[in-house]
Amino acid sequence: EAEVAQSPRYKITEKSQAVAFWCDPISGHATLYWYRQILGQGPELLVQFQDESVVDDSQLPKDRFSAERLKGVDSTLKIQPAELGDSAMYLCASSPVGQLDSPLHFGNGTRLTVT
Amino acid sequence: LAKTTQPISMDSYEGQEVNITCSHNNIATNDYITWYQQFPSQGPRFIIQGYKTKVTNEVASLFIPADRKSSTLSLPRVSLSDTAVYYCLVGDWKSNTGKLIFGQGTTLQVKP
């Protein structure tokens, strides 16, 4: 079964540094999501793409976070500068809009620790 | 967006049937009900989805009453490996702008 690929798996960075996460969705999936999950809580949607266009970034802290999906395939989420409160799991998901079997396919995330 | 309410935690024993109920009083006409399972340090994994009545697959059943204001995930004969967090989501994900919002989920602990 095809999977959503994310890298790195773990990232430790110091506060005020820049950090980037990469996601490669399942081939053919037009919709891509970035979620942030703080330990003990459910995933929180940060940004949603439809192909290369941002559909919803209302919950993305735009002063420090940016996301792009230039060719409508893979995506990068960046944080600059990182803050202690950004420590969390960053999850990427993709979906084949219009299909009924499985709305969201998640990767295994990048665990970020900011020190 | 419809908000969901589910128990924070549940305990069960191996071999028992587990039913987790989710309330979604403000569900909209185009909304589907979807359940995900998440193990520590992994992304959520799709379990089952439905719109109304009953849906069954190889791992679970989903019961949805006629008013669709709640739903129940049923896991038959659970094992230790079913210990996980279970999320109930409601949304019109088929729309290009549809999105699914996660709540806090239900932590299921299966004991031997």
Q: Is B44 helix (H, G, I), strand (E, B) or coil?
A: coil
CB B107 within 8 A of CB A61: no
Chain A hits for B101, Cβ within 8 Å: 45
**Please, is B107 exposed, middle or buried when counting C-beta atoms within 10 Å of its C-beta (0-12, 13-18, 19+)?**
middle
Q: Is the pLDDT of residue A100 over 70?
A: no
Contact B41 A102 (CB under 8 A): no
User: In degrees rounded to 5, what are phi and psi of residue A110?
Assistant: -120, 120
Name every chain B residue with its beta carbon within 8 A of the beta carbon of A25. none
* B51 beta partners: none
Closest-CA distance, A16 to chain B, in angstroms, reads 25
Q: What angle do CA B60, B89, B73 make, to 5 degrees?
A: 25
Compute the average pLDDT of residues B52-78: 95
pLDDT of residue B104: 86
Chain mean pLDDT for chain A: 92
Nearest CA in chain B to A40: B104
Amino acid A97: pLDDT:
74
